Amino acid sequence: MNRSRIRQAVERMRAYTPGEQPQEPGFIKLNTNENPYPPTPAIREALERPPDRLRLYPDPLCQELRRELARLHGCRAEQVFVGNGSDEVLALCVRAFVERDGTIGFFDPSYSLYPVLAAAEEIAVRPVPLKPDFTWDMPAGYAASLFFLTTPNAPTALQYPRETVRSFCAGFDGVVVLDEAYVDFAREHFMDMALEFGHVLVARSLSKSYSLAGLRVGYVVGAEPLIAAMYKIKDSYNVDRLAQEIALAAIRDQAHMRANAARIRATRERAAAALRTRGFEVGPSEANFLWARPSRPAARDLYEALRARKILVRYFPGERTGAHLRVTIGTDGEMDALLRALDEIGAG
Ligand SMILES: Cc1ncc(COP(=O)(O)O)c(C=O)c1O
């Protein structure tokens, strides 16, 4: 019998392609927007405690962590949902807020997970193409049930102006998720919009600025009815006990995160200037990566040439993205190694 037992939508859809995590050692990883510096040493206490407590299930509602996040953002714990990475948070937004005959919007290019989340739920997408300079004009009469607005955007690194974002939120009829995964590297954030509007959520991640990509913790802030709906459908214990403890320690050490982000911003500005000097077109970045367009060799060839020298950057094939490379900001030493490799290759 040759009958597939897999849902047709799942058979048809393409999976999300994560950035390469090499299995061999020795690569300089500038491809997945991880933080090159360690997380706060305050997490060591949680890691060193005897493991006996792991016999017990974690708090299914992450209450202590939510209270801490609520203090940080000046809201109530009931306005915070904590998930297994912000990826889980985004998936739950789709499941909680979009009917099967609804639509999901996002900019093209932006985070390539959004269409995958829609496809898995058999929900139609209405992407909005960004202009050649990667800014946007919403098409007249545009509507969707949910819009993922990535700000700063990935992979372009651009932060959209506050008034543009605010007026989009004010005029939009569906749910808006402001995906602020990179916001700690930006000049400002839009958390106030989640506290002002009943249909706007702000999603954050501990993966980038808190150096905890391996932990898998993200959260979203917004109006209580939306947050309560997400709690109805999440997995019973979606954030494990160690993750809750470590995230709590990390959130409590804002000074460490801020100092780390400032260091990365300084390296970012130096690296952007060095790339521009070599002839790359590099837009302003409000994130922990650069969106850089080489004139020679072509972006794909440069990606391959760097890979051959054990330096990984991210290449996204496609009409809107294929002329650029996304380069994560590493340590100063790693960025110097990148620049030396570019000079050897003759890239610019
Ligand atoms: C825009 C954006 N949102 C969310 C995420 C996911 O972050 P997390 O590690 O918290 O799942 C990423 C990760 O690359 C991202 O680029």
pLDDT tens sequence across 7-53: 999 999 999 999 999 999 999 999 999 999 999 999 999 999 999 99
- Residue 239: which residues within 8 A CB-CB, separation 6 or more? 58, 62, 65, 82, 83, 84, 217, 247
Q: What is the distance in A from the centroid of ligand 1 to the CA of 151?
A: 12
According to CATH, the topology of domain 41-253 is Aspartate Aminotransferase; domain 2 (3.40.640)
| Per-residue model confidence (pLDDT) at position 268 | 98
**Extended beta strands in 151-229, E state:** 175-179, 200-205, 218-221
Report the C-alpha gap between 194 and 173 in whole angstroms: 15
Tell me the CA–centroid distance for residue 4 and ligand 1, in Å: 32
- Radius of gyration (Cα) for the chain, nearest Å? 21
Report the run of H or E that residue 290 belongs to, with start and end: strand 289-293
Counted residue by residue, the chain has a size of 348
pLDDT above 80 for 272: yes
CB neighbours (10 Å) of residue 96?
Answer: 19
Number of Cα atoms under 13 Å in the Cβ half of residue 152: 23
Helical axes 254-277 vs 332-345, angle rounded to 10°: 20
CATH class of the 8-38+255-345 domain in this structure: alpha beta
Tell me the sheet residues that pair with 177.
148, 201
Confidence band, pLDDT 50/70/90 cuts, at residue 144: very high
- Tokens encoding 116: 């995958």
The per-residue pLDDT for range 211-252, each reduced to its tens digit, is 999 999 999 999 999 999 999 999 999 999 999 999 999 999
Q: How confident is the model at residue 95 (pLDDT cuts 50, 70, 90)?
A: very high
Q: Going by DSSP bridges, is the β-strand pair 175-179/200-205 parallel, antiparallel, or unpaired?
A: parallel
**Are 93 and 177 in contact, with CB atoms under 8 Å apart?**
yes
CATH 3.90.1150.10 positions along the chain are 8-38+255-345
Buried b / exposed e across 62-77, counting CB within 10 Å, b at 16+?
beebbebbbeebebeb
User: Cα separation of 90 and 104, whole Å?
Assistant: 12
For 126, counting Cβ atoms within 10 Å of its Cβ (0-12 exposed, 13-18 middle, 19+ buried), the class is middle
The CATH 3.40.640.10 portion of the chain extends over 41-253
Q: How far is CA 239 from CA 41, 75, 219, 342, in A?
A: 21, 21, 11, 41
Point out the ligand 1 atom lying closest to the alpha carbon of residue 153. 1
* Tokens, residue 41: 């040493």
Tell me which residue of 222, 272, 247 sits closest to 93, measured CA to CA.
Answer: 222
What pLDDT is recorded for position 3?
A: 75
CA 20 to ligand 1 center in whole angstroms = 15
H-state helical runs in 100-181: 114-120, 162-171
Please name the amino acid found at residue 48: E
Give the Å distance between the CA of 131 and the centre of ligand 1: 23
Residues with CB under 6 Å of ligand 1 are: 33, 85-87, 111, 150, 154, 179, 181, 205, 207, 213, 218
**Considering the entire predicted model, what is its pTM?**
0.97
Number of the ligand 1 atom closest to the C-alpha atom of 33: 14
**Which of 17, 29, 107, 113 for mutating ligand 1's site (highest number of atoms within 8 Å of CB)?**
113
pLDDT confidence of residue 1: 56
CA angle at 201 for the pair 198 and 207, rounded to the nearest 5°: 165
DSSP 8-state assignment for residue 105: E
